[in-house]
Amino acid sequence: MRIVILLLLGLMAALQYRLWFGQHSVEQYLQRQKELKSHELTNLELKKRNLMFLADVEDLQSGLDSIEERARNELGLVKQNEVFFRLVAKQGKK
């Protein structure tokens, strides 16, 4: 009877070793959970960025107002018969 108990205890110890220290252990599982959360956050940020790009594309496809706004802001273009004023703040004396 003692031999059976010792064999069962040995088997349980071997299984516990695999659970805590072997391949696919609890430690590796917890590490994968952290990596998964990190990837999910990255994916969420990328989804937000993609939605912004999609909105920008729809804006550009829908009308000329957004194209005109981009041309003014990014390229500094002005319409015919418009006057462009650039205000520059004075730098303080040192």
Using pLDDT thresholds of 50, 70 and 90, give the confidence band for residue 92.
confident
The label of the residue with tokens 């004396």 reads 93
d(CA 50, CA 57) in angstroms, rounded, equals 10
**What's the pLDDT at 94?**
59
**What's the pLDDT at 5?**
92
d(CA 72, CA 62) in angstroms, rounded, equals 18
Name the strand (E) or helix (H) holding 88.
none
**What's the pLDDT at 43?**
98
Residue 88 has pLDDT above 90, yes or no: no
Residues whose CB is less than 8 angstroms from the CB of residue 18 and which lie 6 or more positions away in sequence, other chains included: 25
Q: How far is residue 28 CA from its own chain's centroid?
A: 23
In contact, 28 and 20? CB cutoff 8 Å: no
How large is the average pLDDT for residues 70-86?
Answer: 81
Question: What's the predicted TM-score (pTM) here?
Answer: 0.52
